[in-house]
Structure 1
Amino acid sequence: MSTFGIKCPGCEILLEADENDIGAKVECTECGRPFILARNPDPSSAETANDTVTFTFDAFPKDLDYNQPLFLTMPNGTFPVESWSNVLEKCFSYAFANNAAKVGELVDIKTPFRKAVLISRHPERLRRVKELGGDLYMETNLSAHGIVKSVCGLMAYCGFPVKAISVTYRVKSSEPPAPESKVDAPVSSSEFSKPLDFSTFTTGITIPVRVHEAFLKHLSVKLERGKSHPVTIMVGDSSFQVSINNIGFSDPNRKQVLAFLWRKNSPLAKSFQATFTAAYQQLMEDHANRTGIDTALTVSCGEQPDVFKIAMDTPLVESKKPDAPVQAETVAPISLEATSQDGIHGVRIQENWIRFDFTNAPSFERTVPAYCCIDGNVFEGRNWVRILVALVEFELAKGNPALEDLYEKSLYGKKTIRPFLMKSRIEGSRNCSELSNGYWINVGWSIPFLMQFIQAFLLHCGYDEKQVVIYGVPKANNSATHESSQTKKTEVHGVDMEKAETFLKTAGLRGATVQELIDAIQPSAVFWSTKNLLDENLNVIAMPDNRYVHADCFVDLDEAEDVFGKILSSHFARFDGYSNNQLLFGAALQELSMFLNDNDCENINVVYAIARYLFEKKAAGKKYKFAPPHIFETEPDYPLNLKGLMIRLARSNGGILHEVDAKHYLQKTMLTYGSIGQLLQVGNDKMFLMYDRDRYLLSEVIGIDDAWCRQMHDRVDDLFRKADVAYVIPRDISEAWLTTLPVLPLGLAWTHLLLQEILDKYPAIGFKSISAGLNQAYHTLAAAFVSIDSPLQTFPDVVTLFMEEHHKLPTRMSGEELRIELRDKGMLEAGEMIYSIHKALNDYRFAWTDENKTVLIRGNK
């Protein structure tokens, strides 16, 4: 049977058809539209059996870029697909629908089959989001190969037959075909043509090597490697300010890359997006899907130096013409020499600001923060230490799982052996800052090093360079010779507040940013002074997106205040002095629908901002404590985050937190989380100790001090001496011996898991656990307990000694035989490490062969 591909004339979805059915009346399987089946006469658009390939997910090709997927086959049927993103969505949806429990295990963690978060409850953590269902979101910003690899890993993880899943795709060339230029002018050494692609809409145009010489000669300066130069791009009658960048390395032997660069939000990019809206949306969905996109751009040198032209058939639609030329955007380290007209997030870039570009940390010596925005969130601080602390606190409040390993390891490389998040301050040091969770970070570094640490921290937390906008400004010169005292007096003050209020009243509910106020009222005013005045003004409401609105612009705000107060009072009574943005917004939609509609504020963040103004900023009497997204009736004595709420819940139950109670509370209060273990940071924080699989114990109720630790040491040491062993297997410890340990509160009995937690989190006791270190579940018992100064420091150390005690070495056995013997002796649980024992024993004393199925145990000799 010979098949070919054809598009439905109704929904334009790609269908597979049989050659024998040509001329017959058929119906589209997607939209139901009937049409007469006919082969497309254009051979370039016909998908025949000769140009299609089918692969199963257990053996997929490595290079899938620029290949068009046609059909996806899964256990529940075969489906037409239009892009690789479509393949990803259908496969993830199938997995979620058929094994939601396993998919749920991957929420907000780096998946084992791809070291990145692919599924999250927090869409802001993902780069391009698709809703999966059940308040879960999936990452879709992946290459074709990344999509297939991720789907393969997910299906295998969920237990689906990978061989039963396949994709049929149309083979294209190894790179996107460059369409013929529709420009009549001949292509010369000072001109080139290229297809309209995704980079045109977002980043710029790479200049081919063959025209490098001509384009460089057309500049008014000699453009050295690693430098950039502002130029003008003419598209028809429109002109745009961009930059030409010589991204070549300083080493002349390295390849030189020349490119025109602009940003996604620049006027030129916006104009391209407005002109080719359908193509832009198509390429946003799948960068390689160029179906139907045949537009070509011809780039050439203009009549004047530093002027270049882009010619195309379609007239350009300008999105918004700037009032004045915009400062050229560069890739090289930026020290702006002109003021940006539009600025960033409403903030005007000043002449002496220096942008942090991840390579110019030494340039920040003797600077202070001017502006810091991370993925749309603005951070303030009078010095770089305050900025670093603010960033860490923000990620802690979000519950970012990327922070978990920072309790054990350093961000500073070889400069220090201490973890980034320290349990206690460095003895004798004043250069440590305490965080809201009781941990400390070392901030005793020079400014250039602090900038490097900020960079390392942000990258570790999952941000990329495009999401980081940081500017510094040189510290003020104390010399009075440069400016008059009158000028100084002007520069240290913000705008006149009476004029600011008048301006905000005319601005209405849209309000204004700080910079917009300064530009309109007093251009010489200082940004931060103005912001502080606005934050202190009781007539001004701080709204989302760094905007300010005058309270008088809201209709019936006084009446709404009473209703807001009643809503919060009911929440405080129901949730023991607690509410949050979700609860508030849900109630406001019911109780204040007319107010929200009249004031165009049916938005969760706007409602939260209004409540914060009414009951924190403006409140004359008792003020509530707002810590986004939380609201507290009084400021609590625990961290203002999800973990803090769990501390309060545990205290209300005598110090015990049941996991089912925690989940129920979080569900009632409409709060999202990854897992309870991650939320409590049980892997690296000693606030909560695991008592058993479903319960956690607050360490503060035990009363652990130096005397208590000495008592614990004596009991465990006595256990080792009486048994006369170098290690103790936790499962061998009897219940009777556990009763000899210090008495626990509430009449609780000791558990093996609690003992393990205590030993690991309180090294003063002098003993610790040894486990395989393969990221087992938090509640997994370790293989052995040893003294801290024991020569047995790793899992292979303990297993080697065990085998020497029970076998004559060297000896050879199957990996499963070894695992079962360790399991039977109590070192492992039932199915623990059933497929990974070779990884846990990746040591010179264990020689693995036969695809890691057989091991030769050499021993220590």
Structure 2
Amino acid sequence: MAETITDNGTKVKTFSKWLIDVMKLSVATARGYSSAINTATPYAQKFFGLTGSIYDIDDVEVLETLLNRMMADDRFVEINCQSHNRFRGAFDRYLQFSKSYDLGQTCVGFEIKNSDGSFDQIEEFVKEADVDGITASSLSSKTGKSIWLVNKYLRAQSYAIEIPGNIYVHADNVIDLFENKARIQKIIENQFNKFCGYTNDEVLMDAATISLGMFLNDNSIDTPAKFYGIVRYLFGKDSNIYYFAGDKHIWKSESKYPDTYSGVLMGFISSNGGRASKTQCSEYLQKVKLASGNINVLLSAATNKEVLFYGNEEYVLAESIVENEGWIELVRKQINRLFNTATYVIPREISDNWFDLLPPLYGGLYWNLALLQDLIKKYMPEYRLITANENQGLETIRAGIVPEDSVIGNFADLVYARLIEDSALNIPVRLERENLRQKLIEYKMIQGNELIYTLPKVLDGAKYAWTDDGESVLILQ
């Protein structure tokens, strides 16, 4: 007998069964993929504002957007690599499963029942639940309809207020709902003015507690999620006055940035003139009561082409400087000229006069090495950045730039190429570790205390014969 999807536990089992029966995967692989979705859920909650489980997402477009953004997140990409691409495989399969599920396609082993289309009792059940509301799961049990169909049906009903977590409240049960609409809107508009066209469930609830205490008390609105659901009903469900996303965020209008913490920060940077420091970003997140954490991670700064490093712990939006592909080509042309007579370039050796050859920046911005190297990394795949230490910060100036097809593959290769060009050295030559490190500072490959303890580790290879104690090295021919 075909199985009806009625809750997330069954949905997990059904996904596994689909993997085995339809995709012909082994039981172990199916179990691994289905558990990977649960394993990824806490990360999505922490960094992408997800409430509930990934399995709770009924809207396929929302699901696809979330999974794509997770796989574009630098830290999650690293987690996926460490897990031998387990999450990407699981995401691809689950999205394929969900699309067939969303279209109501019958797959081997299960079907979505909607034979009679009768939902006559649902409004009655929702109204009976008063202001506490009733879950889609409970309605599924009462009616025999799947959770998916219950959600689809209620989201189309004008009376249904959806609280995050698939809880539904009847609009008639909310005391003075429409009488307080103008007061609620005034709070929202004040928040938009204060937070650059943005607000969310937490800060909105704080403001409502001060000025709408009676309304909240009369309707047992005691969580940010419940108030968010009511606000979304009043200003999003039918009227679309504001833009809601992720069961948490609210924008004055649909944002051109992602509906994630990254997008919230990008919107703030844009309102700040297209440029902001890490400290400013952290302070803004604290004001809107979002997790401040590692700003680089929240912005996906390692891979996000829309955000560029600018100077010391600052960001600039690419839209503030990158006019079009022709603008990038002007920058590329000048970088190409650097390689007319060189096989590698050490960024700190680039003269200030060279930057005058680049297209001008506006709005008080000026060219610097941090901006240049991030442009190269994100917009010019024909070049590679050579790092002195894999643990360096993302904005740290790199040791060198080489063409993508260069024989210089790593820092050790770059150092050797520079050593053999040093007329003061006769290779082979033995150098004390600190003397060699000072040479690298002189070459402007590193600075300060970089590599003070790790030089033997990063200069490892056939050309470097270190003593057992790592205090000196013989540079070989």
Q: TM-score range by the shorter chain?
A: 0.7 to 0.9
The counterpart of 1:819, out of the listed 412, 422, 437, is: 437
Contact kept in structure 2, 1:692 and 1:751, CA below 8 Å: yes
Counterpart mapping for 1:449-598 below 5 A: 451=90, 453=92, 475-476=105-106, 491-497=114-120, 499-520=121-142, 522-523=143-144, 525-598=145-218
Q: Distance in 1 between matches of 2:412 and 2:284?
A: 42
Report the alpha carbon displacement of residue 802 of structure 1 after superposing the two structures with TM: 1.8
> CA 1:490–1:787 in 2, change beyond 3 Å: closer, same or farther?
closer
Contact kept in structure 2, 1:813 and 1:856, CA below 8 Å: yes
Q: Distance in 1 between matches of 2:342 and 2:16?
A: 57
Report the alpha carbon displacement of residue 694 of structure 1 after superposing the two structures with TM: 3.4
Report the alpha carbon displacement of residue 512 of structure 1 after superposing the two structures with TM: 2.4
Which of the pair is proportionally richer in helix? 2
Q: Does 1:365 align with 2:26?
A: no
Deviations 1:659-693 (A, max 9, x none): 34333332332222223322332222221222201
> CA 1:404–1:820 in 2, change beyond 3 Å: closer, same or farther?
farther
What is the RMSD computed on CA atoms of the aligned residues? 4.1
Secondary structure class of the residue paired with 2:220: coil
The counterpart of 1:392, out of the listed 67, 70, 82, is: 67
Report the alpha carbon displacement of residue 849 of structure 1 after superposing the two structures with TM: 3.8
Secondary structure class of the residue paired with 1:769: strand
The counterpart of 1:745, out of the listed 350, 359, 362, is: 362
Q: Distance in 2 between matches of 1:558 and 1:705?
A: 47
Secondary structure class of the residue paired with 2:172: helix
Counterpart mapping for 1:133-172 below 5 A: none
> CA 1:492–1:843 in 2, change beyond 3 Å: closer, same or farther?
farther
The counterpart of 2:333, out of the listed 706, 714, 733, is: 714
Contact kept in structure 1, 2:429 and 2:475, CA below 8 Å: yes
Contact kept in structure 2, 1:772 and 1:795, CA below 8 Å: yes
Q: Distance in 2 between matches of 1:818 and 1:501?
A: 78
The counterpart of 2:14, out of the listed 354, 357, 374, is: 354
Contact kept in structure 2, 1:379 and 1:391, CA below 8 Å: no
Q: Distance in 2 between matches of 1:516 and 1:853?
A: 70
> CA 1:678–1:826 in 2, change beyond 3 Å: closer, same or farther?
same
Contact kept in structure 2, 1:646 and 1:657, CA below 8 Å: no
> CA 1:390–1:799 in 2, change beyond 3 Å: closer, same or farther?
same
Report the alpha carbon displacement of residue 353 of structure 1 after superposing the two structures with TM: 5.8
The percentage of aligned residue pairs carrying the same residue is 29
Deviations 1:279-338 (A, max 9, x none): xxxxxxxxxxxxxxxxxxxxxxxxxxxxxxxxxxxxxxxxxxxxxxxxxxxxxxxxx999
Q: Distance in 2 between matches of 1:530 and 1:658?
A: 46
Which of the pair is proportionally richer in strand? 1
Q: Distance in 2 between matches of 1:834 and 1:656?
A: 34
Q: Which residue of 2 aligns with 1:682?
A: 301
Give, as a single letter, the amino acid of the residue that structure 1 aligns with 2:271: S
Secondary structure class of the residue paired with 1:856: strand
Contact kept in structure 2, 1:727 and 1:785, CA below 8 Å: yes
Give, as a single letter, the amino acid of the residue that structure 1 aligns with 2:380: P
Q: Which residue of 2 aligns with 1:699?
A: 318
Secondary structure class of the residue paired with 1:808: coil
Contact kept in structure 2, 1:544 and 1:609, CA below 8 Å: yes
Secondary structure class of the residue paired with 1:542: strand
The counterpart of 1:829, out of the listed 447, 455, 463, is: 447
Contact kept in structure 1, 2:385 and 2:398, CA below 8 Å: yes
Q: Which residue of 2 aligns with 1:671?
A: 290
> CA 1:551–1:517 in 2, change beyond 3 Å: closer, same or farther?
same
Q: Which residue of 1 aligns with 2:386?
A: 770
Give, as a single letter, the amino acid of the residue that structure 1 aligns with 2:67: V
Q: Distance in 2 between matches of 1:489 and 1:679?
A: 38
Q: Which residue of 2 aligns with 1:632?
A: 251
Give, as a single letter, the amino acid of the residue that structure 2 aligns with 1:817: N
Counterpart mapping for 1:307-386 below 5 A: 344=7, 349=10, 354-356=14-16, 361-365=19-23, 374=41, 376-377=52-53, 378-380=55-57
> CA 1:491–1:844 in 2, change beyond 3 Å: closer, same or farther?
same
Q: Distance in 2 between matches of 1:831 and 1:526?
A: 62
Report the alpha carbon displacement of residue 618 of structure 1 after superposing the two structures with TM: 4.8
Give, as a single letter, the amino acid of the residue that structure 1 aligns with 2:186: K
Q: Distance in 1 between matches of 2:242 and 2:63?
A: 29
Secondary structure class of the residue paired with 1:692: coil
Q: Distance in 2 between matches of 1:792 and 1:631?
A: 49
Q: Distance in 1 between matches of 2:257 and 2:107?
A: 42
Q: Which residue of 1 aligns with 2:75?
A: 402
Contact kept in structure 2, 1:811 and 1:858, CA below 8 Å: yes
Deviations 1:187-214 (A, max 9, x none): xxxxxxxxxxxxxxxxxxxxxxxxxxxx
Report the alpha carbon displacement of residue 514 of structure 1 after superposing the two structures with TM: 2.5
Q: Distance in 2 between matches of 1:504 and 1:747?
A: 57
Contact kept in structure 2, 1:493 and 1:530, CA below 8 Å: no
Give, as a single letter, the amino acid of the residue that structure 2 aligns with 1:403: F
Counterpart mapping for 1:281-300 below 5 A: none
Give, as a single letter, the amino acid of the residue that structure 2 aligns with 1:513: T
For CA contacts below 8 A with separation 6 or more, give which structure has more relative contact order.
2
> CA 1:366–1:493 in 2, change beyond 3 Å: closer, same or farther?
farther
Report the alpha carbon displacement of residue 827 of structure 1 after superposing the two structures with TM: 0.5
Counterpart mapping for 1:642-661 below 5 A: 642-661=261-280
Q: Distance in 2 between matches of 1:366 and 1:532?
A: 30
Deviates more, 1:545-554 or 1:850-859: 850-859
The counterpart of 1:782, out of the listed 398, 407, 423, is: 398
Q: Which residue of 1 aligns with 2:418?
A: 802
Q: Which residue of 1 aligns with 2:476?
A: 858
> CA 1:854–1:364 in 2, change beyond 3 Å: closer, same or farther?
farther
Q: Distance in 2 between matches of 1:401 and 1:337?
A: 41
TM-score (norm 1): 0.46
Secondary structure class of the residue paired with 1:725: coil
Q: Distance in 1 between matches of 2:366 and 2:405?
A: 29
> CA 1:629–1:784 in 2, change beyond 3 Å: closer, same or farther?
same
Q: Which residue of 2 aligns with 1:76?
A: none
> CA 1:744–1:544 in 2, change beyond 3 Å: closer, same or farther?
closer
The counterpart of 1:617, out of the listed 237, 242, 253, is: 237
Q: Distance in 1 between matches of 2:218 and 2:471?
A: 70
Report the alpha carbon displacement of residue 708 of structure 1 after superposing the two structures with TM: 3.3
Secondary structure class of the residue paired with 2:367: coil
The runs of 5 or more residues in structure 2 that have no matched partner are 26-33, 43-51
Report the alpha carbon displacement of residue 527 of structure 1 after superposing the two structures with TM: 3.8
Secondary structure class of the residue paired with 2:129: helix
Secondary structure class of the residue paired with 2:259: coil
Q: Distance in 2 between matches of 1:587 and 1:718?
A: 57
Q: Which residue of 1 aligns with 2:47?
A: none
Report the alpha carbon displacement of residue 830 of structure 1 after superposing the two structures with TM: 0.4
Deviations 1:782-819 (A, max 9, x none): 11222333222211111111222333333333433322
Give, as a single letter, the amino acid of the residue that structure 1 aligns with 2:474: L
Deviations 1:133-167 (A, max 9, x none): xxxxxxxxxxxxxxxxxxxxxxxxxxxxxxxxxxx
The runs of 5 or more residues in structure 1 that have no matched partner are 1-335, 415-419, 421-449, 458-470, 479-487
Of the two, which has the highest radius of gyration?
1
> CA 1:624–1:517 in 2, change beyond 3 Å: closer, same or farther?
same
Report the alpha carbon displacement of residue 395 of structure 1 after superposing the two structures with TM: 4.0
Q: Distance in 1 between matches of 2:159 and 2:297?
A: 41
Report the alpha carbon displacement of residue 773 of structure 1 after superposing the two structures with TM: 4.3
Deviations 1:249-302 (A, max 9, x none): xxxxxxxxxxxxxxxxxxxxxxxxxxxxxxxxxxxxxxxxxxxxxxxxxxxxxx
